[in-house]
Amino acid sequence: MNTMLTLQDIERARHFYARGYWRTDTLYSLLRASAEATPDRFAFRDTNARLTFRVALEWVDALAQDLHGAGIAPGDRVSIWLPSRIETALVFMACSRMGYVCNTSLHRDYTCNEIVALIERAGSAAFFAQAGYGADAAKNDIFSMLGAVIGAVLIAASVYLCYAFADRLAQVLGATSMSVIMRLSSFLLVCIGTQIIWNGLSAMLKTPLVTGHPG
């Protein structure tokens, strides 16, 4: 069952295909056809580099394989927060090949906090970004923020698993070992909570308070 919301009408789509308005080509299939017909012609270029169709296809295939190996499945969301550069097109082509939903609507004017909220809301399974990009790149690092989110999820999962199977662990490790583990885990959770509170307060104190009306 397709779980993606869409306004596409199946009967209308069939009509468009039958009349020749739509075709079965994808961006990836067109890239492959061009690589076979004119492999040494330039396909992509930005201010830093140029790629021929052959080299671009190799990059796209390698990227698609990496995403597949990471467990990304057809229909998963892949978000891109990049400027106009070759890598943006390569990721888009890889998504076209593998059937991923490519989210390119993350603009430079977003802050890191907004990006984290958007990719969480979209349920992105993969994320591509450039260091130093974004409205508040001088103050925040998107990769550090995402690492903190992932770390918090992993910690929550580990705590849940430990407590869910505490009785089995107690049988294997013994009462003394379990007591030590419980004390260590409690200490770690206190440290993590303190760090989260400190980071939140620091960010709040660094944010200027805006009052009055714009002049």
Judge whether residue 167 has pLDDT over 90.
no
Q: How far is CA 130 from the centre of its chain?
A: 12
Task: Say what the pLDDT of residue 192 is.
Answer: 72
Across 59-70, average pLDDT:
95
Instruction: Kindly report which listed range (50-59, 101-110, 155-164, 178-187) carries the lowest average pLDDT score.
Output: 155-164
- Quote the tokens at residue 81: 């927060």
Mean pLDDT lowest for which of 44-53, 55-64, 153-162, 176-185?
A: 153-162
**Mean pLDDT, all residues of the chain:** 82
Q: Which fold has domain 19-137?
A: Rossmann fold (3.40.50)
Predicted local distance difference test score (pLDDT) of residue 153? 65
Residue extents of the structural domains in the chain: 19-137, 144-205
What's the average model confidence in pLDDT over 87-105?
A: 93
Q: What proportion of the chain, given as a percentage, has pLDDT over 90? A: 34
Task: Give the list of residues 6+ apart from residue 70 with CB closer than 8 angstroms, or none.
Answer: 126
Contact 115, 142 (CB under 8 A): yes
Residue 92 phi, psi dihedral angles, 5° rounding: -60, -45
User: Do the Cβ atoms of 61 and 80 come closer than 8 Å?
Assistant: no
Alpha-carbon gap, residue 91 to 107, rounded angstroms: 16
Give 160's DSSP letter. Answer: H
The mean pLDDT of 166-184, rounded to a whole number, is: 74
In a 13 Å sphere around the CA of 52, the CA atoms on its Cβ side amount to: 9
Query: pLDDT tens, 187-205?
Result: 877 877 787 777 767 766 6
| pTM beyond cutoff 0.75 | no
pLDDT in tens, 97-126: 999 999 988 888 898 888 888 888 888 899
Q: Which residue has the tokens 């974004």?
A: 134
Share of residues in the chain with pLDDT > 70 (%): 81
